[in-house]
Amino acid sequence: QVHLVESGGGSVQAGGSLRLSCAASGRTFSRSDMGWFRQAPGKEREFVASIIWSGGSTHYADSVKGRFTISRDNGKNTVYLQMNSLKPEDTAIYYCAAGRSYYSTTIWSWDYWGQGTQVTVSS
């Protein structure tokens, strides 16, 4: 069992930056692949980025590649999403997820979810 709590969301102007954190409880965090998804109003939840349990491999959606960076600190049971050069279209609720297939972009491949944190980017 993994319990996830996101933080770090907020409002920012286009071109700005935010850093999201996801704190995990449970002894299996260091063996769990971690991911970030987002859901904008009226849209389906979509994959943003993921990182393998060891931190050695990452995967990004094309829409955020080069702007967002996912990382993790297994000693702190935390995964991060550094978001730079934010655009209005990045506005969404961002969710942290834990699973066993870091390369999967489909929501049903991920076992545990946080409650989400709102990110709003104004133009």
Q: Does residue 82 carry a pLDDT above 90?
A: yes
Looking at residue 30, what is its pLDDT?
Answer: 84
What is the mean predicted confidence (pLDDT) over 47-52? 98
Q: What is the distance between the terminal CA atoms of the chain, rounded to a whole angstrom? A: 40
Looking at residue 122, what is its pLDDT?
Answer: 97
Looking at residue 27, what is its pLDDT?
Answer: 74
What is the mean predicted confidence (pLDDT) over 100-120? 94
In this structure, are residues 20 and 71 in contact, taking their beta carbons and an 8 Å threshold?
no
